[in-house]
Structure 1
Amino acid sequence: MTAETLISDEIIPLRTSDTGEEALGMMDDFYVRHLPIVNNKQLLGLISQDEILNCNAVEPVGSYSLSMVRPYANGKDHIYELLRLLAEYHLTLIPVVDEEDNYIGVVTLEALLMHFAQTASFSEPGS
């Protein structure tokens, strides 16, 4: 199973013109602590709830100094790679890009856990 099979179509990426307040509202709506920032299909990075709370929330997120760490997955990456990235960077979602590095969506920690919970090895007694 690959990243592109678990992409959420519900979570819309932030634009650089979106404010921190708008980002926090989206995070609350989707129960995540991170959101991707995208400009013309180009993934600029992830912003966390903590980063927004340490900045002026009425300012656009494009004016924030983002961390240099930009974790992401490729659409063809195996779901174990997603799990590794989510754990390593303590993320609630991971952005996914295609072969040309265009943003194609996110995979949430919740979706990944639901996938594992529904597999036979986790749902059958004695597995």
Structure 2
Amino acid sequence: MNINDYILKEIKALTLDDTVYIAQDLCKDLPITHIPIVENNKLIGCFAEDDIQTIENKEISLKEYTYLLHQFHTNTKTTLLDLITLFAENDCNIIPVLDKNQNYIGYYELRDILDVFADSPFMHQDNDTLIVSKPKLDFSMSQVSQIVESNKAKLLGLYVSKESRDTIEVVIKLSSNEVNEVIQTFRRYDYTVISQHEDDIYLEELKDRADYLKKYLDM
């Protein structure tokens, strides 16, 4: 997969000489959160659709509102995860793309990037997802990988989903025919398994014991 294949050019970037009316009309026709502004093929910044719609004087040029410009962009060497982070940080659905000479060449659209991520092995529905946590001082990414692979499972990816002063929580995507063995191994290494799984024998045993105790107390 080449992420550059998803660079789009359908939406024409505006210039500071364009009027507020043109910008508002563009936003009316297209569901975009920001409008790229260029000058001599160089990105000046982006106007947010929310800001543009609040301007009452439609005939005035955009150059009068440069203080509203937002500064964010990416380049042709970006990664999929970096793009998703950029979209989230800037609360936008398009991100301008610059080439190695800092020329504006198009934009990425959020929907396309999420589709690419959803089609990746990391997000495939047939795979298992584990969420585990452990005290930060004892946590090791290499140990997580070793636990998964020592149980003949295939590690597809993982990321830190939550971090506090004392603990780290990670989401693990894996492919395994015996996910219960992976779960129990994590517990033996003092990880807390946060996600719930139908194949978790340990939880089934706890449920059986609880049912037995309840039955005993009711006698």
- Distance of aligned partners of 1:57 and 1:118 in 2 relative to their CA distance in 1, 3 Å threshold: farther
CA distance in 2 between counterparts of 1:57 and 1:109 reads 29
2:107 counterpart SS class: strand
CA distance in 2 between counterparts of 1:124 and 1:66 reads 45
| Kept after mapping to 2: 8 A contact 1:15/1:39 | yes
- The corresponding residue for 1:18 is 18
| Kept after mapping to 2: 8 A contact 1:96/1:105 | yes
| Kept after mapping to 1: 8 A contact 2:9/2:105 | no
Deviations 1:37-92 (A, max 9, x none): 01111000000112212333332222213346411001111121111111011111
- The corresponding residue for 1:4 is 4
| Kept after mapping to 2: 8 A contact 1:2/1:75 | no
| Distance apart, 1:101 and its partner CA | 0.5
- The corresponding residue for 2:38 is 38
Q: TM-score, normalised by structure 1?
A: 0.85
Q: TM-score, normalised by structure 2?
A: 0.52
2:67 counterpart SS class: coil
Q: Which moved more, 1:30-39 or 1:108-117?
A: 108-117
Give 2:113's aligned amino acid.
L
Q: Does 1:53 align with 2:88?
A: no
Q: Does 1:116 align with 2:111?
A: no
| Kept after mapping to 2: 8 A contact 1:38/1:103 | yes
Give 2:119's aligned amino acid.
Q
Give 1:70's aligned amino acid.
Q
Q: Which has the larger radius of gyration?
A: 2
Give 2:42's aligned amino acid.
Q
1:36 counterpart SS class: strand
CA distance in 2 between counterparts of 1:14 and 1:76 reads 25
Q: What are the equivalent positions in structure 2 for 1:93-112 lying under 5 Å apart?
A: 93-112=94-113
Deviations 1:5-29 (A, max 9, x none): 2111211111222222221222232
Give 2:43's aligned amino acid.
L
What do you get for the CA RMSD once the two structures are aligned?
2.0
Q: Which moved more, 1:80-89 or 1:112-121?
A: 112-121
CA distance in 1 between counterparts of 2:88 and 2:64 reads 28
List runs of 5+ in structure 2 lacking aligned partners. Answer: 129-219
- Distance of aligned partners of 1:3 and 1:15 in 2 relative to their CA distance in 1, 3 Å threshold: farther
CA distance in 1 between counterparts of 2:20 and 2:3 reads 28
Give 2:109's aligned amino acid.
T
